[in-house]
Structure 1
């Protein structure tokens, strides 16, 4: 077992990560005040808040119930340490995002402080922990946005659209951004074919994994669903930027001083996803999450389906209007390819069904509710 100072930090996957209240996370933060010994490395972004220091009383620790894939510990109501339950090999998308967003001054996120990595015996480096600022009174979108849906309020969507635009304007300046000016026709055409093939593959997997009445409905609409995906095959000249990769309302915190986007780890359910994709990918996931919020409001809050559908449609259009305006104000309206939004939304619903079948069966009502509502409205 490796150690960092007096803190029992390890790179072994069979060792339990620190838990809230055991004092290890607070001790870890104190150890970061000193140089980090090999084989550990620390990438520093913004200065850590002062304290706790070694030898001083530890800050109080508590967990975050909503964090499921990994384990986050809030320390002293100032810092959040996300311990990866399985150390992730580098390169890791969060590290590049943290460095770049800090460099360009993007402030609509939890302040990134540091990332702890460790070099293994073979020389491979893995990510162990991410250290960010704590946002007081923060609630994620699966809470606050459902409240908005239940109340029928949509003004928030303007703020979300501007936030997404600001994020993409910042990420678009990351090196390796490519587009029509830097890719040849054959590369772009292959990229369009890859987008379409990936989406059709998601549809096929959703059809295979969804059973019962929902599966029958999907099979009956398979042709219509695939037709909705076809514009992807023709989008040979789309612009590609570094995207968030898992942008839904659950990644948007409403806190004491406003809104913040978090979690730049990428989509944990899509292993082959690349960090550089059309901006419309993020936009579509964000808009579909608004429709999922409407389904949650129906199921859990007793909202009328017609009212929830109207709320979702209004919130979606409000968000898109603000997003387009934000890109125009930043001088980059070409970042959004309108042709891709609808197809990516359909693909996202297929991926939600795949996620439900593999990890969370009770979630299936949300993507199925969206698809049934959308095709019912189109038929009407």
Structure 2
């Protein structure tokens, strides 16, 4: 049924994904199991749509950057095959089940997870979610906004985005940690993790960028300093990889996707301050501005102003939503900038280890934050 580490959709396997969707209503034979979140949509056809064979399936094409491999079936569902299958426990099934229970609907509708026992251990093989018509991820639609001639009016998206992030955190805040697991408050300091990210970024970033970064190391450490103070605010189950690429704009508005956690950070605690997600989302707006500069010839000063305005609007809407729901305590504003700085260090690490051409984005952000005249 599945070849470990291979794409399930090949010339040999075409139709496998559609067949899987058709079988999800029944209980599969061992070693497979289906965990259902919501009833699947109907695949019935009107008389004018009768045809032979199976409903059509397609992938998203090579232009879509994805760690795993997704197949669209009948323009109604998306089957994301994990390649290779992921060892359980995996964050996505638990989080999707909880979001359904909590009534959070600003995501692709979660339908089912397919698991199997492989070599004596449980693995996640595939996730089945709804297809969102006209969906584009933030590395497309948000870059369009940053590159718009009307950049002053191209930040309207930030308000619904801030509300969406707040609603997500309000829903995830009701997901209790496992028995004997992470407690509800932060008692250990994340300062060591941030300092380690800065040290690794300094070590891996070479050339003129590395020299520039080294001259700002003291300033960067200063901005990480708030993490040295023990924080007693709430820890919640966070998304863990919340950036604009995980925000789809579709015919029905905006939707957050991909609850697999951050593939570039090993052993990250799933329960952290909400500011961790918020900081990654705000820094991704800064990255969008850098993409617009590089790929759309947007003037740097205008791109920076756009990013600052979008960031401010997003944070304002996020705080307002938390206050409206009686949970302003979920966001500790003191943690946002240090987490943002740590995130840029992690972007540099990612660039050095996996995608060297990406280095321009975090370096562009840091140079915007720490201009020459402000260097001590």
TM-score by length of structure 1 reads 0.91
Measured in 2, the distance between the counterparts of 1:72 and 1:360 equals 22
Task: Determine the structure 2 residue equivalent to 1:57.
Answer: 53
Superposed CA offset, 1:325-380 (max 9, x none): 01011111000011100000000000001111111111100000000000118829
List runs of 5+ in structure 2 lacking aligned partners.
46-50
2:225 to 222, 225, 230: 230
2:360 to 357, 365, 368: 365
Question: Alpha carbons of 1:23 and 1:67: their partners in 2 closer, same or farther (altered >3 Å)?
Answer: farther
Measured in 2, the distance between the counterparts of 1:310 and 1:353 equals 23
State the superposition RMSD in angstroms: 2.0
1:33 to 21, 25, 28: 25
| Number of residue pairs aligned between Structure 1 and Structure 2 | 360
Matched-pair contact (CA < 8 Å) for 2:92–2:260 = yes
List runs of 5+ in structure 1 lacking aligned partners.
1-8
2:328 to 327, 333, 342: 333
Measured in 1, the distance between the counterparts of 2:334 and 2:178 equals 20
Superposed CA offset, 1:267-312 (max 9, x none): 0000121211110000000000000000011000010111111110
Measured in 1, the distance between the counterparts of 2:44 and 2:129 equals 15
Matched-pair contact (CA < 8 Å) for 1:19–1:63 = no
Task: Determine the structure 1 residue equivalent to 2:48.
Answer: none
Q: How does 1:174-253 map to 2 (within 5 A)?
A: 174-176=175-177, 188-189=186-187, 191-192=188-189, 195-253=190-248
Is 1:149 equivalent to 2:146 in the alignment? yes
Measured in 2, the distance between the counterparts of 1:19 and 1:322 equals 45
Measured in 2, the distance between the counterparts of 1:221 and 1:120 equals 49
SS for the counterpart of 2:143 is helix
Measured in 2, the distance between the counterparts of 1:242 and 1:348 equals 18
Question: Alpha carbons of 1:378 and 1:288: their partners in 2 closer, same or farther (altered >3 Å)?
Answer: farther
Is 1:79 equivalent to 2:65 in the alignment? no
Matched-pair contact (CA < 8 Å) for 1:72–1:80 = yes
Is 1:349 equivalent to 2:347 in the alignment? no
TM-score by length of structure 2 reads 0.92
2:9 to 10, 18, 35: 18
Matched-pair contact (CA < 8 Å) for 2:5–2:85 = no
Runs of 4+ with >2 A deviation: 12-21
